Structures are given as C-alpha cells and as structure tokens.
Amino acid sequence: MTEVALDPFDVALGARIRVRREALKITQAQLATACEVTFQQIQKYERGINRVSAGRLALIAAKLKCHPGDLYSDQHQDDADDAVAQLRRTHDGSDLAACFMTMPEDRRTSLINVARALAAPSAADTARLLQAA
C-alpha cells in the first residue's frame, strides 16, 4: 500500500487548530462534540491527514473563539525559517507569548536576557548574559 504525502498546508492548518485548542484548554472530544464529528476526526484534522472543509473550519473557529482566517494567517507567506512564526506554531510558544504579554516591562527584559543566555553558544556568554538579567 502506497502512503500519500500530506499536504503541507493541511498540516500547518491542523497544527494551528491544535495550538489554539490546547491554549484554550479544550479537549479534542469537546471540540468534536461542538463540531458534530468524532474526536478521531479532530485528530486527523490536527495531523493534516484529513482536509478541513470551509464549513467545518467555521465551526472549529467559532468553538476556538477566533476568526477562520486567524487559523490561516501566515500560511501563504514564506516564513518557514522565521523564528516568530515557528514559535507561534508550538504549544509552548503560545504559552510563552501569553505569559510575556502579561508581564511588566522590566520582567520582559529579564526574561529576554535569560532566554539569550540559555541560547548562548558558550558558558562565558551564558554567565555574562545571566549577570545582566
């Protein structure tokens, strides 16, 4: 049996659905019930195995409290290497962004310094950046 290649657009759309669903702490079963499909169907949408129809996307977006276009945003841009776009596509990135936006400015600066230190290539760079935080 030959495996069919997944469409990158469907995979990216599914990933955005998953990230948004998890950020709202909605289970696949809850989303499935709201959209009148099985949770297995939601799994297939999120993995890009099944394509989401326009009507179903509208239902999913309503349950996820966003506009259907929000789930498409940046999909047509060539941003595969853009760090911000990559971060937004992850669950941890969404959580980090939500926390970051609620922090006072001085804590944001400290968090950025810590992140730079953790990403630094050498121990000396890490120590210097952590001192600045």
Task: Identify the pLDDT of residue 36.
Answer: 94
The one-letter amino acid code at 128 reads R
Task: Identify the pLDDT of residue 126.
Answer: 65
CB atoms within 10 A of CB 21: 20
Q: Would you place residue 2 in the very low, low, confident or very high pLDDT band (cuts 50, 70, 90)?
A: low
Task: Identify the pLDDT of residue 43.
Answer: 97
Q: Which domains does the chain have, with CATH numbers?
A: 8-78 (1.10.260.40)
Classify each residue of 109-125 as buried b or exposed e, where b means 16 or more C-beta atoms within 10 Å of its C-beta. Answer: eeeebeebbeeeeeeee
Which three-class secondary structure state does DSSP give residue 6?
coil
Q: Provide the mean pLDDT of the chain.
A: 83
The one-letter amino acid code at 35 reads C
Task: Identify the pLDDT of residue 49.
Answer: 94
Whether the pLDDT of residue 132 is over 50: the answer is yes
Phi, psi of 120 (to 5 degrees): -65, 145
pLDDT tens string 59-110: 999 999 888 888 886 544 444 456 776 776 677 887 788 888 888 999 989 9
From start to end of 33-111, where are the E strands?
none
Task: Identify the pLDDT of residue 75.
Answer: 46
Cα separation, 124 vs 53, in Å, equals 52
Positive or negative: CA dihedral 89, 92, 94, 97: negative
Task: Identify the pLDDT of residue 27.
Answer: 96
